[in-house]
Amino acid sequence: MTSDCKYGFGTEITLSFDETLSRVETLLKNRGFRIFTRMDLKEIVEGERIKDIGNYVILGACNSEFAKELFSADPNIGMLMPCNIVVYEPGNNMCRVMVKDPVRIMDLINNPLAIHAAMKVKDQMEIIIEELKQDDILPVTK
């Protein structure tokens, strides 16, 4: 897993952008997560290209069981949701998938129930990243 991000984790793989995005969506669905938002960076920056970044999509996913636990812990938790997953091309003929670390984010509210639920979400996201790497021909980790 990549370790160059203090607030998330992920991997780089050799699959194409479209294959990677499709696979991430399938893996999320298989783990009980629904995608509620999908933002394309090109639309956010109005067609401008960001230096050294090709295609870039932000997925906002949520698992209803974990959401119930989180909202029971703190009704303001919606400001920290959903789980954000980014899929992008960093410019090295690879595709990067990064996941916001829910435990690090939930540490902000210092609620044991929220942190416990976030740990379960993180476990699922780590499994998704590992499954994604298994699909790759030549997985690369940092």
Domain membership flag for residue 62 = yes
Name beta bridge partners: 83: 61
Averaged over 99-105, what is the pLDDT? 92
Residue 127's Cα: distance from chain center in Å?
A: 12
Count of domains in the chain?
Answer: 1
Which pLDDT value is given to residue 135? Answer: 77
Domain membership flag for residue 2 = no
Where does the pLDDT of residue 120 fall: very low under 50, low under 70, confident under 90, or very high at 90 and above?
very high
* Sheet with 56-62, side-by-side order of all strands: 8-13, 95-100, 83-88, 56-62, 34-40
Which pLDDT value is given to residue 106? Answer: 84
Which pLDDT value is given to residue 137? Answer: 55
Domain membership flag for residue 14 = yes
* Residue 27's CATH number: 3.30.310.70
Domain membership flag for residue 60 = yes
| DSSP annotation string for 61-129 | EE-HHHHHHHHHH-GGGGGG-SEEEEEE--SSS-EEEEEE-HHHHHTTTT-HHHHHHHHHHHHHHHHHH
Domain membership flag for residue 72 = yes
Domain membership flag for residue 50 = yes
Where does the pLDDT of residue 142 fall: very low under 50, low under 70, confident under 90, or very high at 90 and above?
very low
Where does the pLDDT of residue 140 fall: very low under 50, low under 70, confident under 90, or very high at 90 and above?
very low
Which pLDDT value is given to residue 3? Answer: 53
Cα end-to-end span (Å), the chain: 6
Q: Could you tell me the CA-to-CA distances from 114 to 102, 120, 123, 126 in Å, in that order?
A: 10, 10, 14, 18
Averaged over 106-129, what is the pLDDT? 92
- Domain membership of residue 130 as a residue range: 8-135
**Can you tell me the distance from the alpha carbon of 10 to that of 43, in angstroms, rounded to the nearest whole number?**
24
Q: What is the pTM of this model?
A: 0.87
Averaged over 64-85, what is the pLDDT? 92
Residue 42, pLDDT above cutoff 50: yes
Which pLDDT value is given to residue 14? Answer: 93
Contact 106, 114 (CB under 8 A): yes
Domain membership flag for residue 56 = yes
- Residue, of 139 and 8, whose pLDDT is higher: 8
Instruction: Name the token pair of 19.
Output: 């294959």
Q: Average model confidence (pLDDT) for the chain?
A: 89
